[in-house]
A = this chain, B = another copy of it.
Amino acid sequence: MMNTPLTLVSLVERAEKYFPKKEVISRTLGGVQRFSYKEIGGRTRSLASALESLGVKKGDRVGTLAWNHHRHLEAYFAIPSMGAVLHTINIRLSKEHLSYIINHAEDKVLLVDADLLPLLENIKDELETVEAFIVMTDEETLPDSSLKPLYSYEILLDKADEKYTFSNKIAEEDPAGICYTSGTTGKPKGVVYSHRGLVLHSMAISLADTAAVSESDVCLPVVPMFHANAWGMPFAATWSGSTQVLPGPYPTPQLLAELIESEKVTITAGVPTIWLGLLNELEGKSYNTNSLRAILCGGSAAPMGMIRTFETKYGIPFIHAYGMTETTPLVILSRLKSYQTDLPEEEKLELRSKQGMVVPGIEIKVINENGEAKQDGKDMGELLIRGPWIADEYYKDERSTDAFRDGWLHTGDVATVDEEGFVKIVDRTKDLIKSGGEWISSVDLENALMAHEAVFEAAVVSVPHPKWQERPIACVVLKDGYHDTVTKADINRFLEPQFANWWLPDDVIFMEEIPKTSVGKFLKMALRKQVKEYMSLQS
């Protein structure tokens, strides 16, 4: 067969050539703008041409510090399609981590949103490799800034070649992108995405049995484009000629609900926190969300109660999924098998609240001290992943050997697999609670807590215990209006019928907020510290 390489060039060229009239709808601080793929294609070529004139060459890293909008989408294709490497930078990193990853990736040029300029101005003296800054703004004049040299994105594009020819010297194993994971400890770790990995991943999320991204879709990625390529949606949607709705800076639940209604969004993707916020927004108001065929949810476990409300109250199908920055990210996705659709509603919901089945192209196994875990939905073990869109190392990082061993990615997530092959993530290896020699899943307790009508969110952590080694403590944030009416005893009574006695938390702590990572996951380390302080005050 022909050795045609799998590269991102063909994705954007397909949109230009076969879907020139379809649109990308982009919200910036200047308002909502609409671009055809014909325009996006020309602008993407112009951006590549402009970067080339700034000295960017094959293999160079070009960073983006930006919200989800059309210019970010243009960077998604322009940079890899000229053979350079797209470094999407998490805008929520600390000052130290920000300068660390820009220096570690050796970014040559940075593209930055006007409102995010201060993040770079703060660290400009630490940056060792950056030769140019390009500000992505609708304004005609450049903002005042201490960053030098500073270029205007639009002025560069005006002078550039919109018929620029993308590189045909790209091998499919060549790097196309890099993204750093915002770990809870230590410095961020870089994950390099190859063209091959991103193309295969784009196919994988467009399969009829996965997210089924299609030309007829209107895709709204709420998950940031600086986080695991917005789960690959911008790549797949462009390839398919889908309409894309990019929600821009500071997307609020109200804004998302309005965009879903006005643009007739069919599929949207984000973390559970986003969907909790959207549910709150939908309650009591009368948005029309009939166009939605799927909410794709990953990043952390979706509480069953939330899935139930979206599906039964609003009729919006909810697709639970699992992945990591290291996995491009999609590896596991929940869809019922055809013979499961006749199961009783509660059993289906139980299945749907699992992360689901491994997608075609990827292999998983779950291992514990006895070898491969039994496929019985109970036997727990660490989830291992292998496949052509899974990283095989962290970029120039000694910590690679912990996670990548024997040809498998060791995720650090604890999972069960049931008879039907449905995976359930029960915990992080480091968050599992070992009480009296037995494991307690903090995630199971959290999901149960979050099903309580008064609970907005809940996290469970372990504390050291003289007799049992570790014991669980529940940290609960109540919904507005429940602060005076719900007690620790209420919470305990709610949990009692659902768990073995020894699983029940030793204490329930009511909090204003649970600390989270920059991508919205519970920051259990910080929470454990808070709990420890609280408990020492009590004793």
Q: Chain A: residues with CB nearer than 8 A to chain B?
A: 1-4, 6, 10-11, 14, 17-19, 21-22, 173, 192-194, 196-197, 199-200, 203-204, 206-209, 212-216, 239-241, 328, 335, 337-339, 357-358, 360-361, 363, 386-392, 407, 409, 420-421
Contact = CB atoms under 8 A, between A and B. Distances in A.
Contacts of A390: 1-2, 4
Contacts of A18: 357-358, 420-421
Given A10-B363, A19-B337, A421-B18, A391 B1 contact: yes
A193 B241 contact: no
A197 to B, nearest CB: 4
A323 to B, nearest CB: 14
Given A3-B392, A19-B337, A209-B214, 20 more contacts: A1-B173, A1-B193, A1-B194, A1-B197, A1-B328, A1-B388, A2-B386, A3-B388, A4-B390, A10-B363, A18-B357, A200-B203, A203-B204, A203-B360, A206-B360, A207-B207, A209-B215, A215-B335, A215-B338, A239-B360
A389 B6 CA distance: 11
Contacts of A6: 361, 388
Nearest to A211: B208
A361 to B, nearest CB: 7
A1 B392 CA distance: 5
Contacts of A200: 203
Contact of A240 (B239, B360, B407): B360
Contact of A207 (B197, B206, B216, B421): B206
Nearest to A391: B1
Contacts of A192: 1
Contacts of A338: 215-216
Contacts of A358: 18
A17 to B, nearest CB: 7
B241 A337 contact: yes
Closest 3 CB pairs of A and B: A208-B212, A18-B421, A208-B214
A207 B215 contact: no
A14 B360 contact: yes
B4 A387 contact: yes
Contacts of A21: 339
Contact of A206 (B209, B387, B409): B209
Contacts of A239: 360
Contacts of A19: 337
Nearest to A198: B1
A203 B197 CA distance: 14
Most buried by B among A11, A203, A239, A360: A360
B207 A387 contact: no
A193 B1 CA distance: 7
Contact of A2 (B2, B11, B392): B392
Contacts of A173: 1, 3
